[in-house]
């Protein structure tokens, strides 16, 4: 397995990262955990993830000294003397993470912050000024930086709702209330791709609908409002997105099933309609494999005459994937750099 740059930086500093109750925050394993436990024989690790795929990987580690967690708000049963934090893609999410973890750390606990230069980690010291007594750069390698910090003694109590962004959108004469946590797609406004997708939904929708890669729940909320006879299921890999989507549904007096899933790993049912503005970013990197895999596998989750409608950047070659994996696919629109594709299973036209 190739080890990413962040873990290479951690491994080269592994002797200095001594703790008895370390907390890993969105750190991919890639063998780092076993090396850490070998180096620090008295340590017991908690590994907290907002990414379901990374959580499942960590959960599979067969070691009683490792506990994996997937949730929005982490609260420690036993306080930690160190936290190793992967600097998130959203700077607002960094503040969210620091404030959330404060109550889970012992007095004088060490904070280790690591991230790629192009991912914004250079701003860790500036962004942490309200939370940290100090935040000092201690190493640099593989286009990554490592900072060491310590919490201030007095910090505000963490309130999840404080970090929500709320806004209204107007789509096809329908007004929706949207709520999103930091780092969630569509956190601040309706994105262009989703706006174009919502203008090209099937004319009639009923039965079971899957919103794949739901983000803040914009697509599902709109469908549930326009087509109240639908049964909504929302899927995302992010705990922050799923919590946001649930909040958006509630604000619009809607209900739905929310599923944490690595692509379609935990999706079991078949759906009459699958609607998606599928993600193509993983952290700060452009990453198409997850969406390509979703399109290749979604047929197994379509009802007999099910329909899938997606929007994507028009330069992405999703049309031939859909043609091969699902069936005859139409291009409904190409607008503002986006394309809307639609395929009905068993379509004979």
pLDDT band (50, 70, 90) for residue 288 = confident
> What are the residues facing 195 on neighbouring strands?
none
CA distance 262 to 238: 9
pLDDT at 13 exceeding the cut of 60:
yes
> What three-state secondary structure class fits 211?
strand
Other CB atoms within 10 A of residue 26 CB: 19
**What average pLDDT score do residues 11-20 get?**
97
Question: Is the fold of 5-160 the same as that of 164-344?
Answer: yes
pTM of structure: 0.95
pLDDT tens figures, 110-150: 999 999 999 999 999 999 999 999 999 999 999 999 999 99
CA distance 39 to 317: 46
Percent of the chain at pLDDT > 90 equals 91
Percent of the chain at pLDDT > 70 equals 97
**CA of 71: how far to CAs of 112, 254, 256, 298, 339, in Å?**
21, 22, 19, 26, 34
Q: Determine the topology of domain 164-344 in CATH.
A: Rossmann fold (3.40.50)
Closest C-alpha among 12, 21, 27 to residue 42: 21
pLDDT tens figures, 30-71: 999 999 999 999 999 999 999 999 999 999 999 999 999 999
Helix (H) or strand (E) holding 34: helix 32-39
Cα-Cα-Cα-Cα torsion 94, 65, 31, 90, nearest 10 degrees, comes to -10
pLDDT tens figures, 220-256: 999 999 999 999 999 999 999 999 999 999 999 999 9
pLDDT band (50, 70, 90) for residue 283 = very low
pLDDT tens figures, 303-326: 999 999 999 999 999 999 999 999
Q: In this predicted structure, what is the pLDDT of residue 348? A: 58
Contact 308, 342 (CB under 8 A): yes
Q: In this predicted structure, what is the pLDDT of residue 47? A: 98
Contact 13, 33 (CB under 8 A): no
* Residue 101 C-alpha from the chain's centroid: 19
Contact 345, 326 (CB under 8 A): yes
pLDDT at 282 exceeding the cut of 60:
no
Contact 97, 163 (CB under 8 A): no
Dihedral of CA 255/261/266/267: which sign? positive
pLDDT band (50, 70, 90) for residue 287 = low
CA distance 255 to 331: 31
CA distance 58 to 250: 32
pLDDT tens figures, 174-230: 999 999 999 998 788 899 999 999 999 999 999 999 999 999 999 999 999 999 999
Closest C-alpha among 349, 259, 255, 258 to residue 305: 349
Domain positions in the chain are 5-160, 164-344
* Domain 5-160, CATH homologous superfamily name and number: Vaccinia Virus protein VP39 (3.40.50.150)
Contact 276, 212 (CB under 8 A): yes
**CA of 198: how far to CAs of 54, 170, 173, 269, in Å?**
31, 11, 12, 24
Angle between helices 5-12 and 32-39 (to 10 degrees): 10
Both tokens assigned to 106:
């012992």
**What average pLDDT score do residues 139-168 get?**
96
């Amino acid at each position: 397995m190739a080890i990413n740059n962040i873990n290479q930086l951690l491994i080269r500093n592994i002797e200095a990262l001594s703790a008895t109750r370390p907390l890993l925050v969105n750190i991919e394993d890639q063998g780092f955990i076993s090396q850490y436990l070998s180096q620090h024989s008295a340590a017991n690790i908690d590994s907290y993830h907002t990414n379901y795929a990374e959580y499942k990987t960590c959960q599979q580690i067969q070691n009683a000294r490792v506990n994996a967690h997937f949730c929005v708000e982490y609260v420690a049963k036993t306080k930690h003397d160190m936290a190793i934090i992967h600097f998130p893609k959203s700077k607002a999410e960094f503040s969210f993470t620091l404030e959330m973890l404060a109550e889970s750390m012992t007095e004088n606990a060490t904070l280790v912050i690591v991230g790629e230069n192009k991912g914004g980690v250079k701003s860790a010291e500036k962004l942490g000024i309200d939370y940290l007594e100090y935040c000092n750069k201690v190493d640099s390698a593989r286009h990554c930086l490592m900072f060491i910090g310590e919490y201030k003694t007095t910090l505000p109590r963490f309130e999840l709702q404080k970090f929500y962004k709320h806004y209204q959108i107007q789509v096809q004469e329908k007004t929706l209330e949207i709520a999103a946590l930091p780092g969630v797609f569509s956190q601040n406004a309706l994105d262009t791709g989703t706006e174009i997708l919502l203008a090209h939904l099937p004319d009639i929708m009923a039965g079971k609908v899957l919103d794949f890669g739901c983000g803040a729940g914009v697509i599902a909320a709109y469908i549930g409002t326009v087509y109240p006879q639908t049964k909504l299921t929302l899927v995302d890999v992010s705990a922050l997105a799923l919590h946001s989507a649930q909040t958006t549904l509630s604000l619009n007096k809607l209900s739905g099933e929310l599923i944490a899933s690595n692509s379609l790993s935990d999706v079991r049912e078949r759906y009459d309609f699958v609607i998606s503005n599928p993600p193509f970013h993983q952290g700060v990197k452009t990453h198409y494999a997850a969406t390509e895999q979703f399109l290749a596998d979604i047929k197994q989750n379509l009802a007999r005459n099910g329909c899938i409608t997606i929007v994507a950047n028009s330069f992405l070659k999703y049309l031939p994937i859909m043609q091969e994996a699902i069936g005859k696919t139409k291009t409904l629109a190409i607008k503002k750099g986006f394309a809307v594709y639609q395929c009905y299973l068993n379509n004979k036209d």
